[in-house]
Amino acid sequence: MKTLKLRISGMHCESCEITLKRAISKIEHIKDVRLNYDNEIAEIDYNPEIGINSVIDTIRAVGYDATVYDGRQKIIDKPNFYQFVNSLLDKKNEVEGNLLKISFLTFFILAILEIVAYYGFFRNLPNFWQTYGYYIIFLIISIILSAVAVWHVKAYGNTFTCMTGMMVGMTIGMISGFLIGLMVGATNGMFIGSLAGIFTGMTTGIWTGKCCGIMGVMEGMMAGLMGGLMGAMTSLMLFNDNLKIIIPILVIASSIILIALDFLIFRENTGTQIRKINKQSFLSFLSICFIVAMTLTWIMVYGPRSILFQ
């Protein structure tokens, strides 16, 4: 009886263990499989000889990755949420330590630019702030929430397992589409809100989901489509039923989901993984946020409206 040890990337829970154990156990000559998602090590007993490459191919076929573990690599326990929070506050952290900083800085700059735009273009519109101000504030927050999540993904490039990549594309596509559809739908109605939400959601879903190929792209597209429609539909359904009250609740709920996703990204790229960091330009990040914010603001103010919103 011989034992093969593999380091498996992408195991996050007991369900992952069950999926992998079932797939590996079907391989001929495998006698026993022991998995531990905490340190991502699989011990496989076999007799007689097996093809190691075929085992690794089987693991990859179910959405994970694997390399032979010879015992000399250092195994680091996966970080917990407390460590993730500390990393957000650590100015020396090259990725997570920048997330809060760029969030607040971008919000501050975009808020100033929206005020400049008001005095330059919107000042003569009657009741501008009463009609649009509330939704523009949450529009900026929504754009930053989605953009920071994209920043986090792009900082690690394509170093995600297939399963994590699909979750990334689906979550960011869904949340960004939903929030933009919600805000634009609140001022222009379901049709224009849906178009804005679908375009934004599908674009961000594809952009982030492509880190795991066509499967991630498809997840991002479908999630962006559904998110955009649901956001605009929510605005329409709650138009005369405390819409302004539900918006901050939905934004907070979406923030919690994106924070959980950021924790997943952090966990995926810390511990047994080698952190491969891609330097991101804040100027490019800010420019994209500015273009999106100004375009959507223009649509909210000057774009077509459904009958209910005229």
Is 75 domain-assigned?
A: no
Across 23-29, average pLDDT: 83
What pLDDT is recorded for position 92? 77
Is 41 domain-assigned?
A: yes
Is 42 domain-assigned?
A: yes
Across 167-187, average pLDDT: 94
**Same-domain status, 38 and 116:** no
**Same-domain status, 258 and 206:** yes
**Same-domain status, 63 and 155:** no
Domain that holds residue 13: 2-68
Is 73 domain-assigned?
A: no
Across 274-293, average pLDDT: 85
Give dist(CA 184, CA 132) in Å, integer.
10
Q: How many domains does the chain have?
A: 2
Q: Is the pLDDT of residue 65 over 80?
A: no
Give the lowest-confidence range in 2-16, 63-77, 293-307: 63-77
Q: Is the pLDDT of residue 271 over 60?
A: no
Is the distance from CB of 258 to CB of 171 less than 8 angstroms? yes
Q: What is the per-residue pLDDT across 240-260, written as a single tens digit (0 to 9) for each?
A: 888 999 999 999 999 999 999
**Same-domain status, 260 and 195:** yes
State how far the alpha carbon of 73 is from the alpha carbons of 39, 55, 255, 273, in Å.
Answer: 12, 20, 36, 11
More confident residue, 48 or 176: 176
Is 277 domain-assigned?
A: yes
Give dist(CA 151, CA 95) in Å, integer.
9
What pLDDT is recorded for position 76? 52
Domain boundary, last residue among 68, 92, 116: 68
| Helix runs in 7-95, H state only | 14-25, 52-61, 81-89
What pLDDT is recorded for position 272? 47
What pLDDT is recorded for position 273? 47
Full-model pTM: 0.79
**Same-domain status, 128 and 239:** yes
The CA-based dihedral angle spanning residues 236, 252, 146, 151, taken in that order and rounded to the nearest 10 degrees: 180
Is 74 domain-assigned?
A: no
**Same-domain status, 33 and 170:** no
**Same-domain status, 32 and 140:** no
**Mean model confidence pLDDT for the chain:** 85
Domain boundary, last residue among 44, 68, 92: 68
**Same-domain status, 186 and 47:** no
Scan for tokens 């409206």, then name that residue: 305
Give dist(CA 300, CA 193) in Å, integer.
9
pLDDT band at 147 (very low <50, low <70, confident <90, very high): very high
**Same-domain status, 172 and 263:** yes
Classify burial at 181, counting beta carbons within 10 Å of its beta carbon; exposed 0-12, middle 13-18, buried 19 or more: buried
What is the 3-class SS of 160-190, one letter each residue? CCHHHHHHHHHHHHHHHHHHHHHHHHHHHCH
**Same-domain status, 120 and 227:** yes
Q: What is the per-residue pLDDT across 66-89, written as a single tens digit (0 to 9) for each?
A: 777 766 555 555 678 888 888 888
In this structure, what are the phi and psi dihedrals at residue 305, rounded to the nearest 5 degrees? -130, 150
For residue 42, the cross-strand partners are 6, 35
**Same-domain status, 187 and 40:** no
Domain CATH code at residue 41:
3.30.70.100
Domain boundary, last residue among 18, 45, 68: 68
**Same-domain status, 44 and 109:** no
| Number of C-beta neighbours around residue 122 at 10 A | 18
What pLDDT is recorded for position 72? 56
Q: Which two tokens stand for residue 32?
A: 């026993």
Is 76 domain-assigned?
A: no
More confident residue, 42 or 40: 42
Across 154-158, average pLDDT: 78
Is 105 domain-assigned?
A: yes
